Amino acid sequence: MTEIEQRRQAYQRMTKAELLETLLALEDSVAPGTKLAAGNAEVQMTDAVECISQGFCIYDKNDRLVHCNQNFKEMFGYSDSDIDGFPTFSDLLALDADRGTIVRDADGMDIPRLRLAQFGDGGDYLDLPLTDGRWLRIRDRQTTDGGTVSIHTDVTAQKKTERDLAEKEA
């Protein structure tokens, strides 16, 4: 009888309690290092997301906000209570519309409806005008699990330059 067959027979003879004990012992021997490494990776990722100058947010496959950085909150004036409870993208868009944060109509387009239609489609980008005069360039990308990563970049200076050039040419 080979060693593999002997082990298989030994495992088959084990009681459920013995199997559970073996499994827990194996988990205890592997888990501390794995949990520590996972915790360190999570801290590093959170720190990296907070360090970028853009607004960053990630939504799950049900369009619920899973995480965002401080820059994202500041761009839209969100408080911690606004984002507690995993609001949906539609909830946040409605909050923006209610507060008058985003321009409702530009060049005959309903901006909130356009943003809702383009959310998560992975298209090029959308330049979103805010009522305070700022412009945000928003790029959405799909994650492998069906969620959406959204990056928001303030392009107000670029828009001003474009407008100034257009005025000079006119």
Whether 63 and 89 have beta carbons less than 8 Å apart is answered as yes
Location of each CATH 3.30.450.20 domain in the chain: 53-169
Q: Which of 47, 90, 54 is nearest to 73 (CA)?
A: 54
pLDDT at position 115 is 79
Q: What is the DSSP string of 38-91?
A: HHHHHHHHHHHHHHSSSEEEEE-TTSBEEEE-HHHHHHHT--HHHHTT--BHHH
> Which amino acid belongs to residue 146?
G
Whether 46 and 70 have beta carbons less than 8 Å apart is answered as no
Region 53-169: CATH code: 3.30.450.20
Mean pLDDT, contiguous 10-residue spans, the chain (170 residues) = 68 59 64 63 79 92 94 96 93 91 74 76 82 93 91 94 86
pLDDT at position 13 is 60
pLDDT at position 44 is 82
